[in-house]
Amino acid sequence: MATNRGINQRLLQVFLVQAVFISLIALLGVYAARFVIGDILIQRALENEASHYWAMYDENSFSPRPNTYNLTGYIKTMDKDVPTEFISLGLGLHKIMNSNSDLNIVHVSEHKGEILYLEFDGDQVSKLALFFGVFPLALFLIIIYLSGWTTYRLLSQAVSPIIKMAKTLEVLDPLSNEFSEKLKQVLPDNVDQEVAILSQALSKLSERIESFVVRERNFTRNASHELRSPITVIKIATELLLEDDTLNESQVRPLQRIKNNAADMEELIEVLLILARESDSALSYEPVCVNDVVSEEIERTNNLLINKPVNVSVVEKNKLYVLGSDKVLSVMIGNLIRNAFSYTDEGSVNITVATNDLIIEDSGIGIAKEDVEIMFKPFQRGNNKQRGGYGVGLTIVKMLSERFHWSISVDSQLGSGTKVKINFPETSLE
């Protein structure tokens, strides 16, 4: 399962995203303020200045033109020092660059045939925007960043017990006796109620898991003894009977089948107990020859082909060795070969030992598409219940393949046969 980054990292990411978002909004606000100051307020102010001057002009045509630190006025017909670049300007507001590459804002108005040019220092707009925009923005951002950082620190402190618990659980065995004590040690005295509930729930879960493990160990120990004892008795009894020279062939044959099936039952019980155990410490890992296991299982299950016109072929492209348990491989391969023999009434069963694969292909009755998807579930026998069995063999095969990381795939069509492939990732060849 895919995991996200840690809680602290996610909180920091949220804080950074929030800071960037606020900064962008604030910058847009500054540009908006500059637009308001430059294009709206300045224009309104210059229009008011022009109206005021024309009112004074109506009373006295020789009224002096506006001449302040930021504003200079010119009358086209009365002032000889009108900048030449103003002459071609139309009525309204204009932004031009003077000879010193300074921005000037020029407002042009007309009254009774006279034209008034009001020149405003454009650099003052930038200064106003800086004063009324950037400085408040900087102060605003500092406050926002400090408050955001404070919030981040408080949130980090709030979730720190959970982070400590996660780090403790990462290196601690949930079944160890010190599990509950370790959890309590990482929690502060004034832990939040939700964190305390989580810690208690984990401790109780650990206790339940430990009790389940104890019960599982007791069961496997008792089952191993109680199930193996009668099987051993059956094997010893059949071996003694087989040593009797007075038995004829019709009597020896069923005794031999009893002995073989008892051995199969003993092997199956061992595999089931392996599946029931939590660890693989009881397994003996050694190179097992898949070719030999195939030969043994064909010999064991040959009786299923009696009176059937079925040809069995084994193609060995190489000697395939798998690091594992011979008992596990015998149960897996035996179940698959047994199924192929049982569900093939005529035709062929072809078994191929390849580089990393074992392929068992038959020309039997096949499996319906809807049954292929559920064939590895317990007690699923599809539409072939008359063939016998209890529907658990393939379930055991699937469990073993998952336990040992051997992938298994099935390709089948109803009426056309079935192809089963086991892939062994780690092999050696001979």
What single-letter amino acid sits at 275?
A: L
Give per-residue pLDDT as tens, 291-316.
Answer: 999 999 898 888 888 889 999 999 99
Q: How confident is the model at residue 1 (pLDDT cuts 50, 70, 90)?
A: very low
Neighbouring C-beta atoms of residue 109, cutoff 10 Å: 18
Q: Is the whole-model pTM more than 0.75? A: no
Q: Is the pLDDT confidence value at 376 over 80?
A: no
pLDDT score at 77: 80
Q: Is the pLDDT confidence value at 259 over 60?
A: yes
pLDDT score at 289: 92
pLDDT score at 181: 66
Task: Quote the CA–CA distance of 149 and 393 in Å, as a whole number.
Answer: 61
Q: Is the pLDDT confidence value at 148 over 90?
A: no
In contact, 46 and 202? CB cutoff 8 Å: no
pLDDT score at 113: 83
Average pLDDT of 278-290? Answer: 69
Structural domains of the chain, with CATH: 7-144 (no CATH), 172-282 (1.10.287), 286-429 (3.30.565.10)
Average pLDDT of 380-407? Answer: 69
Q: Is the pLDDT confidence value at 390 over 70?
A: no
Q: Which whole-number Å values give the CA distances from 405 to 179, 287, 322, 408, in the listed order?
A: 30, 16, 12, 9
Average pLDDT of 248-254? Answer: 83
Average pLDDT of 160-171? Answer: 69
Average pLDDT of 33-39? Answer: 60
pLDDT score at 349: 93
Give per-residue pLDDT as tens, 49-88.
Answer: 888 888 888 888 788 888 887 788 888 888 778 888 888 8
Average pLDDT for the chain: 77
Give per-residue pLDDT as tens, 78-116.
Answer: 877 888 888 888 888 888 876 666 677 888 888 888 888
